[in-house]
Amino acid sequence: MTDREAVRYAAGLIRQGRLVAFPTETVYGLGANALDERAVRRIFEAKGRPPESPMIVHVASVEMARGLAIEWPRQAAALAGRWWPGPLTLVLRKHFSIPGIVTAGLDTVALRMPSHPLALELIREAGVPLAAPSANRFTELSPTTAEHVRRGLGERVDFILDGGPTTVGIESTVLSLTTVPPQLLRPGMVSRPDIEAWIGPVELGGRPGAAAHPSPGMHDRHYSPRTPVVLGSLPGSGRGAWLYWRQPFEAARMVKLPEEAAACGADLYRTLHELDREGWDWIAVETPPDGPQWAAIADRLGRAAGVIGRPDPPGYNEPDSS
Ligand code: TXA
Ligand code: MG
């Protein structure tokens, strides 16, 4: 099957209310027609995801996005102009055409135009926006290859559009434009200063309360491999693997991660998926360097290690100064 044929087949499934996993530049998404409530319900079932988690709606153009929001503030125009297609999600006031199940009953919707050509072709060919969380079971590690999706979701997905390994590798930055100042709800590889350069000051989103759930990504143990992850300290016992940036440690297996944030983001989940399958007792990760371009990586590793996302975090190890 050529890519073109695969996209046409996948678009047909979408129009029938079925589920298609598709590549984006960040991670693979588990997509359904965002305007079809029954199709979206299947996403929740396939992921084992609680209904209070809103999902991102993927579009193929600014025009399509504008039709799904009741306001298109000038910050949205500026950011979409700079970062779309790309790994930035904008939360805006939602249009009534989007069923409540997509947004977990919120009156806002998260919109993103991905840059992967197959994602854009799929949306255009299907002719509808795609609701799509990451294509993994709830709380598991996000997939960055079609093989990860196959292993994680198996028969629960009707078709996987294979676009090779993803290039950004970390989920999109989520920014709400419904507050003043705008709030960064989830860090991604589009960093806070990247955004502030275009629209001025942005606040860091608070931890979600028990009732409202602005960010499912903020659940405990989200983005985790099955193997326990420890951050920045050598575990007491067992056989493990170390992920490190600079200095080597005593360990059973060591994986050196790239020293540059973008390259590290691209490799991180793939490396964790691989180590997870090797059956270690633990995975220890060197605390990532400081700096805005590392914020998304530090965030995901902190969640995997369980030191971010608790109501009362015990404190996050500072990067060592070496
Ligand atoms: O890179 C990505 O964003 C990937 C690919 C597939 O596009 N998708 C992804 O989706 O990571 P998911 O469902 O795993 O994460 C959705 C994020 C959550 O952090 C959630 O807080 C936020 O989007 N979100 C969705 N709707 C929202 C809303 N109405 N208000 C606030 N946050 C929202
Ligand atoms: Mg996810």
Residue 319 has pLDDT above 70, yes or no: no
Of all residues in the chain, the percent with pLDDT exceeding 70 is 90
Distance 260 CA to ligand 1 centre (A): 25
Q: Which residues surround ligand 2, an ion (CB under 5 A)?
A: 134
Distance 53 CA to ligand 1 centre (A): 9
Domains in the chain, ordered, with CATH? 3-204 (3.90.870.10), 229-305 (no CATH)
User: Hey, how many other C-beta atoms are within 10 angstroms of the C-beta on 201?
Assistant: 9
Mutate to test the pocket of ligand 1, among 43, 70, 141, 174 (most ligand atoms within 8 A of CB): 174
Are the beta carbons of 130 and 33 closer than 8 angstroms? yes
Q: How do residues 247-275 score in pLDDT, each as one tens digit?
A: 777 778 889 999 999 999 999 999 999 99
- What is the pLDDT confidence band of residue 233, given thresholds at 50, 70 and 90? confident
Give the residue, by CA position, lying nearest to ligand 1 atom 18: 215
Per-residue pLDDT averaged across 218-246, rounded?
A: 80
pLDDT at res. 220: 45
10 Å CB burial of residue 38 (0-12, 13-18, 19+) is: exposed
Which residues have CB under 6 Å of ligand 1? Answer: 24, 26-27, 29, 54-56, 87, 89, 91, 103, 106, 108-110, 112, 114, 132-134, 171-172, 174, 176, 185-186, 214-217
Q: Give the least confident one: 24-38, 48-62, 209-223, 272-286.
A: 209-223
Query: What is the number of the ligand 1 atom nearest to the C-alpha of 135?
Result: 6
- What is the pLDDT confidence band of residue 306, given thresholds at 50, 70 and 90? confident
pTM: 0.92
